[in-house]
Structure 1
Amino acid sequence: MKKFLELWSFEWNRAKRFYGFLLAFVTSLQAYAVFHEYKFWKDGYESYRQQGVPAISEQYVLESGNITIAAVTSNSFFVFSIMTAVFALLFYSVFIWYQDWTGKNRFSLRLLSLPGKRFAVYAAKLATIWLLITGLQVWQIGLLYLEELVFSGLIPADIYLDIPLQMASTSASPLSLALPSLFSNYLLYYTTGYTALTLGYTFILMHLSGRWKGVLFAGILAVGLIAAMVLFLRTGITTRLYAEEKYWVMIAVSLVLFLSGTWANYRLLEKHISV
């Protein structure tokens, strides 16, 4: 446990500059999205006012509808900030492995030679990614409340409509994937997400332990998993299940794959990567 905590602290210290820049980038883009959407509305509203319509607010709402925080979350700058954060974390998830295995004096040799279980190296990296993802979610929730407060203050009260923040994004928005409105969706998305990350780490460790042979074996394993999934779907079992049963089958399969990937990663680190 001591080795894990020390390595986790070490990984976090390496990630905090990248993470701070990412949070600042996301915040600045979303702040721009708020004022960009306000200016867009204001220009349209001013044009409407120049028509000299009496009871302009009521008439404007009848013709154009109320404006909500969903206008901000559907803004292209807001969407781009979410997509950038997702891809940045995916990139860093891979980078934190390969940064230790490159160069003449590979730092990975020192990490794996430390006293204690080598699996602590894997656990620290996975826990770091979990911390980055969870921290970004908490930051985004705080940003949403702040953005809603600012945006509602800029728009006249008789035109702005308060809605629950859970309704601030459509099902097709990346925000609905990053911050699902329902706990059941949250559980499904992040169970499958962390399972995919664990399997991705399995393929990375195969490459690091076997080089091109590891890449070949990882490719064969990936093809095998995809083929098994296709064959399972072609059996038609899923067509005879209710929606709730399909949901729990997906959760169960994800957990089995997560545990299998974790066990494989443990074996690869302890038995197949030599220093």
Structure 2
Amino acid sequence: MKKFMELWTFEWNRAKRFYGFLLAFVTALQAYAVFHEYNFWKDGYENYRQQGYAAMPEQYLQEYGNLTVAAVTSNSFFVFSVMTAVFGLLFYAVFIWYQDWTGKNRFSFRLLSLPGSRFAVYASKFGTIWLLITGLQVWQIGLLYLEELVFSGLIPTDIYRDIPLQMASTSSSPLALALPSLFSNYLLFYTIGYTALTLAYTFILMHLSGRWKGVFLATALAIGLIAAMLLFLRTGITTRLYAEEKYWMTISGSLILFLSGTWANYRLLEKRISV
């Protein structure tokens, strides 16, 4: 545990500059989205009034309806900020492995030579990604409350309508995947997400331990998993299951793959990678 905590602290210290820049970039884009959407509404409202229409809010609302914070979360700058955060963390999840394996004096040799279980190296990197994802979620929730406060203050009260923040994004928005409104969806999405991350780390470790042979084995494993999933779907079993049964079957299957990938990563670090 001591080795894990020391490595986790080390990984966090390496990540904090990148993470700080990512949070600042997301915040700046979403702040711009708020004022961009306000100016877009303001220009349209002024044009509506200049065309000689009555300036009564009731008539305007009959034609255009109320404005909500959903206008901000569907703004292209807001969507781009969420997508940037997602792909930025995906990039870093891969980068934190390869940064230690590059260079003439590879730092990975020193990490794997430390006393204690080598699995602490894997656990610290996985834990760092978990911390970055969770921290970004908390940051985004805080931003949503702040953005709603600012946006509702800019729009007239007779035109703006308060809605629960769970309704601030449509099902097709990346925000709905990053911050699902239902706990059941949150459990499903992130169980699948962390399972995919675990399997990706399995492929990375296979590559690092076997080079081109590892790439071949990782590719064969990925093809095998996809083929097994397609064959299972072709059996038609899922068509005879209720939605709740499909839900828990997906959760269970993901957990099995997660545990299998974690065990494979442990074996690769302890047995396959030599220093």
Could you tell me the TM-score, scaled by structure 1's length?
A: 0.99
C-alpha deviation, 1:56, in angstroms: 1.9
CA contact under 8 A between 1:203 and 1:215: conserved in structure 2? yes
Q: Which residue of the partner structure matches residue 90 of structure 1?
A: 90
Question: Structure 1 residue 94: deviation in Å?
Answer: 0.2
Counterparts of residues 100-119 of structure 1 (less than 5 Å): 100-119=100-119
Per-residue Cα deviation, 1:199-237 (whole angstroms, up to 9, x for no partner): 000000000000000000011111110010011000000
Partner of 2:169: 169
Q: Specify the alignment match of 1:71 in structure 2.
A: 71
Q: Which residue of 2 aligns with 1:24?
A: 24
Farther-moved stretch of structure 1 (56-65 vs 108-117) = 56-65
C-alpha distance after superposition, 1:30-80 (max 9, x if no partner): 000000000000000001112343352111111000000000000000000
> What is the percentage of aligned positions where both structures have the same residue?
85
Q: Deviations over 1:87-113 (max 9, x none)?
A: 000000000000000000000000000
Cα RMSD between the aligned structures?
0.6
Aligned residue type for 2:261:
G
Alignment check: 8 A CA contact 2:49 2:55 kept: no
* Partner SS for 1:17: helix
- Quote the Cα distance in structure 2 between the aligned partners of 1:164 and 1:40: 23
Equivalent residue for 1:15? 15
1:235 aligns with 2:221: no
Equivalent position amino acid for 1:155 in 2: I
2:155 partner amino acid: I
Matched, 1:255 2:245: no
Whether contact under 8 Å (1:207, 1:215) holds in the other structure is yes
Q: How does 1:69-218 map to 2 (within 5 A)?
A: 69-218=69-218
One-letter code of the match for 1:146? L
**Aligned residue pair count:** 275
Measure the CA separation in 1 of the matches of 2:200 and 2:230. 20
Opposite residue 200 of structure 2, the aligned amino acid is: G
Q: Which region of structure 1 is more displaced relative to structure 2, 52-61 or 249-258?
A: 52-61
The separation in 1 between residues aligned to 2:13 and 2:171, in whole angstroms, is 36
CA contact (8 A) 2:38 2:155 kept: yes
- How far, CA to CA, are the matches of 2:86 and 2:123 in structure 1? 21
Q: 2 CA distance for matches of 1:256 and 1:53?
A: 63
User: Counterpart of 2:270 in structure 1: which amino acid?
Assistant: E
Query: Hey, what does 2:51 align to over in structure 1?
Result: 51
Residue identity opposite 1:148 in structure 2: E
1:38 is matched with 38
**Unaligned stretches of 5+ residues in structure 2:** none
For the residue of structure 2 that corresponds to 1:207, the secondary structure is: helix
Letter in 1 for 2:142: G
Which whole-Å CA distance do the structure 2 matches of 1:222 and 1:158 have between them?
Answer: 55
Structure 1: which amino acid aligns with 2:99? Q
Match for residue 268 of structure 2? 268
Q: Is the 8 A contact 1:49 1:56 kept in 2?
A: no
Q: What TM-score comes out, normalization by structure 2 length?
A: 0.99
Residues 30 and 78 in structure 1, CA contact (< 8 A), matched pair in contact too: yes
Q: Deviations over 1:223-256 (max 9, x none)?
A: 1100100110000000000000000000000000
Query: In the alignment, which residue of structure 1 is the partner of 2:60?
Result: 60
- Secondary structure at 1:260 match in 2: helix
User: Which residue in the other structure is 1:6 paired with?
Assistant: 6
Asked if 1 retains the 8 angstrom alpha-carbon contact of 2:93 and 2:129, the reply is: yes
